[in-house]
Structure 1
Amino acid sequence: MVFALQRLLPADHLADGQHRDRLVPGSFRILTLQAGDQLRLFARLDGDGCLLLPLTPTPTSMPTLQWPFADSSVPSVPMTRAAFLESWIRDGRLLGQERLSPELRGQMASARCLDNAQLQAGVVLDVTHNSRVLLMVPAQVMPVDEQQASGEVEIRVQLAAGGEYLPEPLAETVADIRVPASSARAYTVKAGQWIQILDVAGKQCSDFIAFDLAAVEAARAGQLNPYEIPVLDAAATRTLMGRALPQPGLHSRFYDQNMQSMLEVVQDTVGRHDSFLMACTPRYYDDAGYFGHISCTANFNQQLAAWGVPPRAGWPAINFFFNTSVSDCGAVIGDEPWSRPGDFVLLRASRDLLCVSSACPDDIDAANGWFPTDIHVHVYGAEHTFPRAIAWRTSAEELPRMTLKTAFHERTAALTSHFSEYKGYWMADEFTGWGATAEYLACRERVAMIDLTALRKFEVLGPDAEKLLQLALTRNVRRLAVGEIIYTALCNVSGGMIDDGTLFRLGAQNFRLVTGDPWVGQWLKRLADENRFVVQVLESSSQLCNLAVQGPQSRELLSELLWTPEHQPDLNQLAWFHFTIGRLGGPQGQPVMVSRTGYTGELGFEVWCHPQHANELWDAVWKAGQRFEIAPMGLKALDMLRIEAGLVFAGHEFCPETNPFEAGIGFTVPMKTKEDDFIGRTALARQNPESRQKLMGLIINSTQPVAHGDQVFQGRFPVGVVTSATFSPVLRQQIALCRLTPDAAVVGTELEIGQLDGLQKRLPATVTSLPFYDPERTRVRS
């Protein structure tokens, strides 16, 4: 392999024929490159550069490598980075990722480094030979009281003319099947093996059917009617899963018509498929006037003939990457697929299967982006293990990110298998042996602990840090003292809420913003650039995890565990919405930050640490909590607690079309006392306060469940909408948060919640003030 360092260039807009990827700090990637490709690397923030190492096609017979860049301006790894390189390789592993072969480890001395200055300008490397290259990005370990956070490195591969890019296989493959455009291929898999179906060029549907292989063989031997062969069935799957489509997590299974599991969905980088329709049929094209057009059904029949499976006029199939949805009136709507080049689904076979995958030939509508292309299938052995993951994005142009496990996952997974995806992390819903109600009661009566690592953390520091935050946040940041925390809203120019969050002041010009939406970081950087502020906005989510310890006995528990130096307040001195820095177990223990914050309406704290100390922190709290009958807590119990406490949640009480006053947090907008301008202030000042909707409580005089989105009526006409609802164990009745018109938002008003069409079913409710629990908030302030 030979590269040539071509030039430095600024980041440019995506062009056709490009593959994009990213390297987060502490990760590596192996790229397969073709002659004529260009490898482009960019970094947006300060970091430790990027290491590159060329690989031969057979690493086990790797000769001594010469550095393959013709331009000598790319330096060797300097001696100052030797410690960093050593820290990367522990027991043959690269920060917990795939095992490095001894031969590859031996070649690390041949690595070269692009420093951060080059990466921020942008680097282009011309590829002159077919090759593979290993890219590695270091990760600093950020102490909890410091604000060092490395940035990502963006990878773009500009493909040579006629070239294509497929991601490296996830592991050694058992079989590789290319499905040419407008065709289908049959293949077999054994129980436990993994099937990865990849969209090669993007926007290409792949219809998929699967049969019980033992039944197929029995039918071929004349021992079974071939029409009785169990086949993957979308209707049975939807019924048993309670979802239109399975996805990684609890609702991950595909079933046959006998309601027996056939496949598990393990990873999905698209999340948009179809199980409502058949594979395309000859009749579809005939009815559209395209007589004799090839179809997936005809291709399936041709492939299945060799297996003795009778043909059908139409095959019910799972249409991977087919973008369909169902409207409120029941119509099925289709559009161009969401899938991009290299997107995939990863399935695991529950038994031996005969599978057929197509590359759909539909070129008469948008189903394949109008241009059918290839599909590729990898089959991996059952001995491999792949984590469950769903892709998500924070913006339209961003690369997808796969679901992560939190630093506490090893401990929470030992206590439950009930996880759901939240903002790119797997979070526990409830715990085996406890359940949501028991977890709720532990928090109200004793103490409970919950992993809240999915919250996003941003370090904002520099001479203009305060100016940036004064502009971005509704609260008056100038009044915030070092060691203090404020709860704030973040608004767009129309006054709608982007998010809410808490802001920590670590120093005169050093802040830590904690929010729920990862897009907040991108927004802050854009504001800083537009206003020419001298400030850094660094995401530190991967460097900080937080464990909430909540309940009336939380202070007593944590006081036994945490040591604080003389210049920091101890837990008994720590005021509400303040934080302290200390250590776990004593002056030589692991560093932690403790904030007197929470989301439960109870006395409580959040303990923040680096992920490498997460298990130690969990174990210490869990052990000390046994005498208090501590319970782990999941998202279901947390939702009950926060609704009782009248606390708002993104996507429920607020959205970009809801302002802070309508969301019930108008106290975060000091229109009279904050003199500086902030985003959304002009729009909020134009509004008539008397015309705003109000967030109120509802006491529901019915045991029938109420849900987010149910309309609230006064007589015939709607006057509001339920934003959140739960059954309150302490109040012994169902309650809801509700956004109401001003005239209806009066305590004691009798209303009705309309379900079905709003007229056929009405549930009586009474308006009340918030919060439902501890109206004076004496417990949380105690």
Structure 2
Amino acid sequence: MNAPRVSRPREPGLFARAPALERYRVAAGGLTLVALQPGDSLQVIDLEGRQPCQLLAMDRLGRSALAAWALSGSTACGFIGARLAGPTLQSRRIGDALIRRAIDPQHLPSAASLWDEDSPADFSRRFVAGDELLVIVAAPAGPTAVDRQYRPSELRLWVTRANPSPVLLPALPEPLGELLDEFTIGAGTAHSYTVGKGRYVQVLDVAGRQCSDFVALDRRALDRGLELDLDQTVTRTLNGSAYPAPGLFSKFFDRQMQPMLEVVRDTVGRHDSFALACAARYYESHGYFGHDNCSDNLSQVLSPHGVKARNGWPAINFFFNTGIDAHQQMTLDEPWSRPGDYVLLRAMTDLQCASTSCPDDIDPANGWNPSDIHVRIYSEKERFSIAMSTRTTADADPILTRESAFHSRTRALTGNFVDYRNWWLPLRYDGYGAIEEYLGCRERVAVMDLTALRKFEIIGPDAEALLQYCLTRDVRRLAVGQVVYSAMCHEHGGMLDDGTLLRLGPDNFRWICGEDYAGAWLREQAHKLGMKVWVKSASEQIHNLAVQGPMSRELLKQMVWTAPDQPKLESLGWFRFLVGRLDGHDGCPLMISRTGYTGELGYEVWCQPEDAGQVWDRIWALGQPLGLVPLGLEALDMLRIEAGLIFAGYEFSDQTDPFEAGIGFSVTLKSKTDDFIGREALLRRSAHPAHKLVGLQLSGNEGVHHGDPVYRGRAQVGVITSACRSPLLASNIALCRVDVTCADVGTVLEIGKVDGLQKRISATVTAAIFYDPDKSRVRS
């Protein structure tokens, strides 16, 4: 007889279903305080390796409890005390927590060091509390020079409770600022509350995977007997996204087109803002008569404010994981939200709000188990950064959108920023615009903040062997001071990422790419192979500018000093780098690489964040006589498409191999005799290619877009990957992934618009590089 089939999906990161387990993050250069009860265990993990760790354990009277764990305090471990004496919000919160327990944060016992500085990745130590303890764990960090490869990194704490609460209520995260009010909405209920203009509303998912419908009405209009609430159709239209899609808009409007709410932060990114809150009819249609529902709950809590009941409330359903499929049908699955995830909104007028904790327990909408929602109200005097969040892996902590160290300079030139790979970067600049920025780069010189590039230090005796196995290039041929462009592939040949590799020494490399996961993936491969190598994240400690254009060498040679053992800026070869200083031997350290993403002569300038302001100011001052312009992402897109340079998610993905992406030159199948990940698949794919990246020269002046289908006759034979109007060529151009039978130069194809049949735009196949195909300018 067959055993019953059981559902056991893999759900990494869903810690709400492990009630005894809690996890905490210790940021690089930060502290984390945890309280332990007798029998609780604490595991401290060095995620990337080579990260010092200091630990302080105290009993309820503030006395050292290190001896019980066979540790001894040392005056050399002074990072915790120094950090608590600082002015940061984190140190103030930990200090306040200690004071509440009658412990003086300025007179703590000594901490202990848990391991030496050569700890491998994922090295850990585990301790069990015999008594009630307070533990502070620190990840010490200090300044790191741009030409050095020590990089501080975060630690992970796992706390396993000996006596977990029978009711799973994960601890709420710390408030973001000073609270005016907060309350918990029990599962299956709703709550009404007022929010004054300028104040902030934070809606938190307490246990994870729980939906919360949110409605807001204009209070001043209510006083006049007029119900003006959020209107999804107006909101979608004014945001230029009338087609429904999951997620949130930057602003929400009422039906009179007046702004009501601004979204300030979102740690999830997946919500329903186009459907009704659940209503009685939904449950009745499934046979659940009299089931609690959000619409009736909203009507009940809003009725005391003179709001008429509605059978179905249009609402923003935070955390509800719905979508519209290709057949215009609504789909749903369990939410993406984790314990503590939240949305932060700012009221743009006086509002009467109501929030629910959805009672839906008949489908995956709330993970089949409705739980609580928590709401916090903050003062209009608070200032919160605008941010989204991403996770490097499914079980990683969310990282909010950051500002680079150049942000103070770029912000003075524009307010038009976009979230580019979790960093705020300018889209275009006031007083310039995309065309002027483009022309400035093609004709003179341009400067651009490219800090969003990810940087990883790969060091150790097996560094070369790891990279030889993980990259498509022959890393053994790379000399110290040289840079090489390479692909990074999965076993099946699809691309994980592309990037540039710098060799800083015999066993020292720096990988520059766009994908955060690349670092975790490299560590996974090193672990599988048992290699002695460290992969350290360096994105936070290295910020960079691109200086591109025919006058870029003239500009930079005025400000870069190099020692006798380094090449001069003027003689730096293509795909080479140097280590120098700003202006003189006492200036701040710099690295300059002769690389870029524009198809022009150009360089990238790498520096420490604390030096970013003076580096930008010097470039800006020296560039004015040369006609320097700031360069935004909109102009960069035109430049890179003309140069045939590829972009993740457009020209390549994990379904696209390097040959299909147009960078087959980066796969050295003949000269590289060592095995590497994806080699067998790439041999097969190169012998039997199915698609090729080509250029398209469009007829007429109508444009096309990423994702548009490309046809020969009735059959679709390709797809547009990127497109723009080229100022240089005075025509619309596109990059296209097309069937190899249609890839010959001169082939006439058509791009389908409307439904692909009713409107066609003729185009002619060209080489994928429209501008300077022999690279004479970039090599000059």
TM-score, shorter chain, exceeding 0.5: yes
* Counterparts in 2 of 1:770 and 1:90: CA distance versus 1, 3 Å: farther
Match of 1:115 in 2: 114
1:43 equivalent among 46, 63, 69: 46
Match of 1:3 in 2: none
C-alpha separation between the residues in 2 aligned to 1:746 and 1:98? 65
Match of 2:150 in 1: 148
Match of 2:7 in 1: none
Unaligned runs of 5+ residues in structure 1 are: 1-10, 57-63, 219-223
TM superposition shift of 1:70: 6.9
Match of 1:67 in 2: 64
Contact 2:53 2:113 in 1 (8 A): yes
TM superposition shift of 1:506: 0.7
What is the DSSP-based 3-state SS (H/G/I as helix, E as strand, rest coil) of the residue aligned with 1:478? helix
Q: Per-residue displacement from partner, 1:542-599 (whole Å, max 9, x unpaired)?
A: 1111111001000010111110001100111100000000000110000000000000
TM superposition shift of 1:94: 6.7
Amino acid at match of 1:16: A
* Counterparts in 2 of 1:662 and 1:585: CA distance versus 1, 3 Å: same
1:765 equivalent among 763, 766, 779: 763
1:214 and 2:220 aligned: yes
Contact 1:391 1:403 in 2 (8 A): yes
Larger deviation, residues 408-417 vs 98-107: 98-107
C-alpha separation between the residues in 1 aligned to 2:606 and 2:643? 23
Amino acid at match of 1:403: T
C-alpha separation between the residues in 2 aligned to 1:345 and 1:194? 10
What is the DSSP-based 3-state SS (H/G/I as helix, E as strand, rest coil) of the residue aligned with 2:719? strand
**Count of residues paired in the alignment:** 752
TM superposition shift of 1:487: 0.6
What is the DSSP-based 3-state SS (H/G/I as helix, E as strand, rest coil) of the residue aligned with 1:593? strand
1:528 and 2:531 aligned: no
Amino acid at match of 1:115: L
C-alpha separation between the residues in 1 aligned to 2:363 and 2:332? 9
C-alpha separation between the residues in 2 aligned to 1:723 and 1:245? 21
- 1:462-611 to 2 correspondence within 5 Å? 462-611=460-609
C-alpha separation between the residues in 1 aligned to 2:368 and 2:429? 47
2:279 equivalent among 278, 281, 287: 281
Amino acid at match of 2:29: G
Contact 2:246 2:270 in 1 (8 A): no
Contact 1:32 1:168 in 2 (8 A): no
TM superposition shift of 1:87: 6.7
Match of 1:92 in 2: 87
Contact 1:599 1:647 in 2 (8 A): yes
What is the DSSP-based 3-state SS (H/G/I as helix, E as strand, rest coil) of the residue aligned with 1:417? coil
TM superposition shift of 1:24: 2.5
- 1:172-187 to 2 correspondence within 5 Å? 172-187=178-193
Amino acid at match of 2:474: N
TM superposition shift of 1:666: 0.9
C-alpha separation between the residues in 1 aligned to 2:40 and 2:198? 37
Amino acid at match of 2:316: I
Amino acid at match of 1:398: A
What is the DSSP-based 3-state SS (H/G/I as helix, E as strand, rest coil) of the residue aligned with 1:324? strand
TM superposition shift of 1:38: 5.2
Amino acid at match of 2:321: N
Match of 2:4 in 1: none
Q: Per-residue displacement from partner, 1:441-464 (whole Å, max 9, x unpaired)?
A: 110011111111111111111111
TM superposition shift of 1:89: 6.7
* Counterparts in 2 of 1:756 and 1:378: CA distance versus 1, 3 Å: same
What is the DSSP-based 3-state SS (H/G/I as helix, E as strand, rest coil) of the residue aligned with 1:543? coil
TM-score by length of 2: 0.91
Contact 1:454 1:516 in 2 (8 A): yes
Match of 1:59 in 2: none
Contact 1:270 1:339 in 2 (8 A): yes
* Counterparts in 2 of 1:568 and 1:521: CA distance versus 1, 3 Å: same
Identity of counterpart residues, as a percentage? 48
* Counterparts in 2 of 1:731 and 1:52: CA distance versus 1, 3 Å: farther
Unaligned runs of 5+ residues in structure 2 are: 1-11
C-alpha separation between the residues in 2 aligned to 1:13 and 1:242? 34
C-alpha separation between the residues in 1 aligned to 2:37 and 2:759? 64
Contact 1:546 1:608 in 2 (8 A): yes
C-alpha separation between the residues in 1 aligned to 2:81 and 2:42? 26
- 1:178-197 to 2 correspondence within 5 Å? 178-197=184-203
- 1:380-779 to 2 correspondence within 5 Å? 380-687=378-685, 689=687, 691-779=689-777
1:79 and 2:79 aligned: no
* Counterparts in 2 of 1:98 and 1:441: CA distance versus 1, 3 Å: farther
Q: Per-residue displacement from partner, 1:478-527 (whole Å, max 9, x unpaired)?
A: 11111111111111111111111111111111111111111111111111
Match of 1:291 in 2: 289
Contact 1:464 1:533 in 2 (8 A): yes
Match of 1:61 in 2: none
RMSD: 2.7
Contact 1:46 1:116 in 2 (8 A): no
C-alpha separation between the residues in 1 aligned to 2:107 and 2:759? 69
Contact 1:232 1:317 in 2 (8 A): yes
Contact 2:276 2:315 in 1 (8 A): yes
TM superposition shift of 1:395: 2.2
What is the DSSP-based 3-state SS (H/G/I as helix, E as strand, rest coil) of the residue aligned with 2:680? helix
C-alpha separation between the residues in 2 aligned to 1:702 and 1:69? 76
C-alpha separation between the residues in 2 aligned to 1:116 and 1:179? 44
* Counterparts in 2 of 1:412 and 1:735: CA distance versus 1, 3 Å: same
Match of 2:175 in 1: 169
Match of 1:253 in 2: 251
Contact 1:38 1:127 in 2 (8 A): no
Larger deviation, residues 735-744 vs 120-129: 120-129
1:20 equivalent among 23, 35, 39: 23
C-alpha separation between the residues in 1 aligned to 2:632 and 2:308? 49
* Counterparts in 2 of 1:698 and 1:111: CA distance versus 1, 3 Å: farther
What is the DSSP-based 3-state SS (H/G/I as helix, E as strand, rest coil) of the residue aligned with 1:636? helix
What is the DSSP-based 3-state SS (H/G/I as helix, E as strand, rest coil) of the residue aligned with 2:682? helix
Amino acid at match of 2:702: Q
Amino acid at match of 2:157: I
C-alpha separation between the residues in 2 aligned to 1:333 and 1:781? 52
C-alpha separation between the residues in 2 aligned to 1:351 and 1:135? 43
TM superposition shift of 1:687: 3.2
What is the DSSP-based 3-state SS (H/G/I as helix, E as strand, rest coil) of the residue aligned with 2:742? coil
C-alpha separation between the residues in 1 aligned to 2:729 and 2:767? 14
TM superposition shift of 1:13: 11
Contact 2:13 2:396 in 1 (8 A): no
C-alpha separation between the residues in 1 aligned to 2:35 and 2:272? 32
Contact 1:247 1:265 in 2 (8 A): no
* Counterparts in 2 of 1:97 and 1:427: CA distance versus 1, 3 Å: farther
TM superposition shift of 1:658: 1.1
C-alpha separation between the residues in 2 aligned to 1:171 and 1:261? 24
Larger deviation, residues 749-758 vs 113-122: 113-122
Larger deviation, residues 685-694 vs 308-317: 685-694
Contact 2:486 2:666 in 1 (8 A): yes
